[in-house]
Amino acid sequence: MNYTKINNLLGWACGILATLVYIMTAEKTTSWWDTGEFIASAYKMQIVHQPGAPLFLMVQNIFSNLAMGDKTQIAYWMNIGSAVSSGMTILFLFWTITALARKAYVKYSRTAEVSDAALINIMGAGVVGALAYAFSDTFWFSAVESEVYAMSSLCTAVVFWAILKWEVRADEPGADRWLLLIAYVMGLSIGVHLLNLLVIPAIALVIYFRRNEKTTSAGAIKALLIGVVVLAFVLWGVIQYLIKFAAYFDLFFVNSLGLGFGTGVTFFALLVLGGLCFGLWYSYKKVKPTLNIALLGIAFVIFGYSSFSMILIRAKANPTLNNSDPDNAFSFLSYLNREQYGDEPLIKGRYFDAKPTDIFETGNVYRKDGEKYVVAKKKFDYTFDRTTLFPRVYSDKHEGFYRDWLSLGESEQPGMGDNLKFFFTYQIGHMYGRYFMWNFVGRQNDQQGHGSFTEGNWISGIKPIDNIRLGGQNVLPTSEKENAARNTYFFLPLILGILGALWQFRKQEKDAAVVALLFFFTGLAIVLYLNQTPLQPRERDYAYAGSFYAFCIWIGLGAIWIAEKLSGKINAKNAAIGATAVSVLAGPVLLAGQNWDDHDRSAKFLARDMAKNYLESCAPNAILFSYGDNDTYPLWYVQEVEGFRTDVRVVNLSLLSADWYMKQMMHKVNDADALPINIDPEKIKDGVRDVIYYNDFQIPEHIEVKTLLDIMLSDNQQNKVQLQSGDWANVLPTKKMQYTVDKNAVIANKVVPKEWEDAIVDTMKWNYSMGIVSRAELSILAILANNNWKRPIYFTTTTPDENMIGLNKYMVSEGFAMRLMPVALAADSTADNAPISDVEGTYNNIVNKFQWGNIGNSSYLDPDSYRYISMYVGSLYGETAQNLLMMGKKEEVKKLVLNAYENMPKRPYLMSEVFSYASLIDAMYKVGETQKANEVAARNLKFLRENMAYYTAIAESKPNLEYRNMRFGLASIQNYQRVLTDAKQKELLDEVNKIFETYRPLFEGN
């Protein structure tokens, strides 16, 4: 009883401590990436991107009620939901470690007493390992935001703890109920994230070792293979093929029997239920316990998996966010299979430079059409002239990176050696090993690493080692030394983990094999399965959190190794106390101390404020086109949850090429009217005009948009061309487009500032920027043709130029969004892709409307936030200030530069930011804010001087690695020379001239 009480109390203490830390450091609102979508969808029970997370959404919806109706607090309480899930993960990890440690002293006995020294060792191991994971970099990051990974980690912790509970009770009546609990939690976890399923092979090994007194290597391998088969059965058999069979049953019942949609699904569900009931009855009558528990396990997995019914139910209700619209068997199957993202080759595939040799059909895509399912289109794949087993360098979109990484010449073909080199050095070394070392050795900074030696590497804090690994550490700039994301652990957590693994392999070989298997399947096995391409849009360390979880078990057991070594010199109890104290300091305390400042997100608001700034840049009833996740998801959050500017219709261009999303845009949502697309949905349904290709008909003049739309949407064969397949397809016959402007409508709807009315053009003319027309571009053209300037049309400033279909010269910046205006001011620009600014409108937005997420006062900014600063200080503040100066409005410029001084960070983060500051500093001098200008210039020059020395030192041993940073640095030197010369600031000018002299050879070389 004493052991049990202490174990329970310390476990809860660790869990509560971790939860409190996460609550203290949790973000108060939405964050970047998927959290905005998850919060908005959880709040209104909507459909997130494939493959969905229905259980996560339902649980988070419960937490949203704690906001007591305050919509600004809903995101915070959902973040608390992740904090609680993460704290409970630590609780179960503690009990997992103590269960494993206790077996070294009393094997499977639940009643045997342990000595005081053993008790301290066991509990100390639990505290050390659990809190080390609690304060580790990757887990802490996920613990304070409303993302699926915190709850997914909890599912992993529960099932691994549960199999250890079964292991101790395996000889008792009813012990297999623990196996059913595991099956149910795994079924539930599918509704959160699939990572939990990777525990299955380790569970299979635990069962084998427990059920067999005499174990062999062959038996263990067989058990492992059975575990892999079970994993595959759940991953493909239950999750995918159950739905696939149901879909094809529905196809037969609807198309062949003439019954209604869903009847085949219902029949198949009853068939599965009946089969399970019969199997359970049969296994009971024939006394087949293994078959019985297996069938019960399948039943519980399916029962847990039933959370996905929420997806179908809510899709039928057509909520505002209804990703993929999975309201029937086939669209639901596509949703679960993540078909919109494509597949990566795993066993056999192409090289990146391979050429297609043939195309072959792989299946049908069905859509619900009227009262039947019809074949929307065929699936195809290619054969290639060069393929390989175990393909790792397969993406033709990343050829340049592959060649640089593998040192391949411009026309040199990759081989199997290059394939394996990329696997070991990039996929394992860079995309797993680097993350592993981040968590247990140290991290250089939080800049996303693509191979540069100044970005995202691991470090230790032991200078000679870091100097060997990363050239130039001897000239480390102040910006790096003071970087909150620079965390050094001196190898101590790693050493503890290695010692723990050694102790367990010596004392508990079978348990060590189980933990090692968990470590492998949640780490390197994911590397094998994901087969990631380079240049990922964000760091992917969260995918390997389960592997770090397993390693923290060994960190905890490392305390026992130390205790046993000390027990030869002092008594066992004192050795246990001393080892626990040392390990707590070397693990949890060190990790918490180093990681706190860059994991405290309690004062971070930029994602929310950026979304509001986008919307505040728009006139009432506007259409706002966005592009990336970090544009769109925060916009969804502020509109759907906080109800902010719901008159603006947000349109994601990445999704607009899908038929379901284009159709949704044709309906009113919230306070925003439907888009004026006015295209018959039958003409753009799945399989119909998925892509329209450009075919140059050598038309010399510009063609009206309306005429081009009629051609592209025509069902008349005269307006189509015949493909090699024999099919007829619509084409875009010219890229020369024009739109006749109704000046009266432009003026009546106040599309342009009054002083620009004389500059309104009669006809807008442009060259289409793309080689195809997807539904996204078709929609933009249709809106332009039908809107007649009734609703303002905007694009976010971060939308790629190409996605503006060539209209760039008619875009006018009003802050964070660019408005389409038919004015000659933009049309006469020197470059077709150079928009102009509505200077006074932008100034008014900056001074009176925009918020800056507290970035000026935050002690730490994450990379997703500080990478925007260059745009703020350059494109917004700097350019607007210079334009106002040319207009002679010095008072406005003074307000603007003071606003920038107050709201922008008090330190530079990137060389591109230093470069962008020049125009703003120049404006500060010109309106008499010399002291503030000198302050900003001085800190930027210090950053410039120190970082150029840093990049140069690295480039001496690692040529070309810092080209981009050095290019910005050289350009910055020249900018600051110009600005400081004009401002007559001799002291600072002397400083920048000295920097120039240091790098004069580089200027002469260019």
Distance between CA atoms of residues 63 and 553, nearest Å? 30
Q: Assess whether pLDDT exceeds 70 at residue 833.
A: no
CB 40 within 8 A of CB 46: yes
**Sheet of strand 793-796, all strands in order from the earlier edge strand to the far edge:** 649-652, 623-626, 793-796, 817-820, 811-813, 836-837
| Joined tokens for residue 843 | 């100034």
Mean pLDDT of the chain: 91
Distance between CA atoms of residues 734 and 694, nearest Å? 7
The separation between the first and the last C-alpha atoms of the chain, rounded to the nearest angstrom, is: 77
Distance between CA atoms of residues 731 and 874, nearest Å? 41
| Joined tokens for residue 90 | 């630590």
Domain locations in the chain as residue ranges? 2-310+506-524+541-598, 343-414, 606-834
Question: Confidence class of residue 827 from pLDDT cuts 50, 70 and 90?
Answer: very low
Distance between CA atoms of residues 199 and 179, nearest Å? 13
**Region 981-993: what's the mean pLDDT?**
92
The model's pLDDT over 208-221, given as tens digits with 9 standing for 90+, comes to 999 988 989 999 99
Question: Confidence class of residue 618 from pLDDT cuts 50, 70 and 90?
Answer: very high
CB atoms within 10 A of CB 64: 21
The model's pLDDT over 907-916, given as tens digits with 9 standing for 90+, comes to 999 888 999 9
For residue 294, give Cα distances in angstroms to 194, 205, 623.
Answer: 20, 16, 54
The pLDDT, as a whole number, for residue 719 is 81
Q: Which of 69, 73, 71, 75 is nearest to 38 (CA)?
A: 75
Question: Which residue has better confidence, 205 or 970?
Answer: 205
Q: Assess whether pLDDT exceeds 60 at residue 1.
A: no
> At 26, is the secondary structure helix, strand, or coil?
coil
Distance between CA atoms of residues 163 and 723, nearest Å? 59
The model's pLDDT over 554-593, given as tens digits with 9 standing for 90+, comes to 999 999 999 999 988 899 999 999 999 999 999 999 999 9
Q: Assess whether pLDDT exceeds 70 at residue 826.
A: no
The pLDDT, as a whole number, for residue 471 is 63
Q: What is the 3-state secondary structure (H, E, C) of 696-730?
A: CCCCCCCEEHHHHHHHHHCCCHHHEEECCCCCEEE
CB atoms within 10 A of CB 139: 28
Question: Confidence class of residue 499 from pLDDT cuts 50, 70 and 90?
Answer: very high
Distance between CA atoms of residues 115 and 649, nearest Å? 68
The pLDDT, as a whole number, for residue 968 is 82
Question: Confidence class of residue 467 from pLDDT cuts 50, 70 and 90?
Answer: confident
The model's pLDDT over 750-807, given as tens digits with 9 standing for 90+, comes to 999 888 888 899 999 999 989 899 999 999 999 999 999 999 999 999 999 889 999 9
Q: Assess whether pLDDT exceeds 90 at residue 244.
A: yes
The pLDDT, as a whole number, for residue 370 is 87
The model's pLDDT over 850-877, given as tens digits with 9 standing for 90+, comes to 999 999 988 889 999 988 998 999 889 9
Distance between CA atoms of residues 21 and 14, nearest Å? 11
The pLDDT, as a whole number, for residue 45 is 95
Q: Assess whether pLDDT exceeds 80 at residue 468.
A: no
**Region 302-316: what's the mean pLDDT?**
94
Distance between CA atoms of residues 518 and 512, nearest Å? 10
**Region 705-729: what's the mean pLDDT?**
85
Question: Confidence class of residue 34 from pLDDT cuts 50, 70 and 90?
Answer: very high
Among 233-237, 671-675, 824-828, name the one with the lowest average pLDDT: 824-828
The pLDDT, as a whole number, for residue 165 is 94
H/E element holding 285? helix 263-285
**Region 25-46: what's the mean pLDDT?**
95
Q: Assess whether pLDDT exceeds 80 at residue 32.
A: yes
Percent of the chain, pLDDT > 70? Answer: 97
Q: Assess whether pLDDT exceeds 70 at residue 962.
A: no
Q: Assess whether pLDDT exceeds 60 at residue 1005.
A: no
pTM: 0.92
CB atoms within 10 A of CB 49: 20
| Joined tokens for residue 38 | 């998850």
The model's pLDDT over 629-649, given as tens digits with 9 standing for 90+, comes to 899 999 999 999 999 999 999
Q: Assess whether pLDDT exceeds 50 at residue 996.
A: yes
Distance between CA atoms of residues 523 and 533, nearest Å? 17
The pLDDT, as a whole number, for residue 963 is 63
Question: Which residue has better confidence, 135 or 451?
Answer: 135
Q: Which long-range contacts (CB under 8 A, 24 or more apart) does 360-364 make?
A: none
